[in-house]
Amino acid sequence: MEQFLPFISEIGFPALVTFYLLYRIEAKLEAVIQSVQDLPKQMINMKN
């Protein structure tokens, strides 16, 4: 058990930060994906 504590403290914090950042970026990526999917519709509307 004592051997795992330094491992968790060294790896746990960076892993936590990574998962937090991935969670934050996910919402922004979904907005970008939606914008790209809507782009053809908007281009058709601009022609008319």
* Span between the terminal Cα atoms of the chain, in Å: 69
pLDDT tens across 25-39, in order? Answer: 998 999 999 999 999
- In this predicted model, which residue has the larger pLDDT, 6 or 21? 21
**Token duo for residue 27:** 């919402």
Q: Is the pTM of this model over 0.85?
A: no
Q: For the chain, give the mean pLDDT.
A: 87
Give whichever of 1-5, 8-12, 19-23, 34-38 has the largest mean pLDDT: 34-38
Look at the block and give the residue holding tokens 């060294």: 10
The predicted structure's pLDDT at residue 5: 74
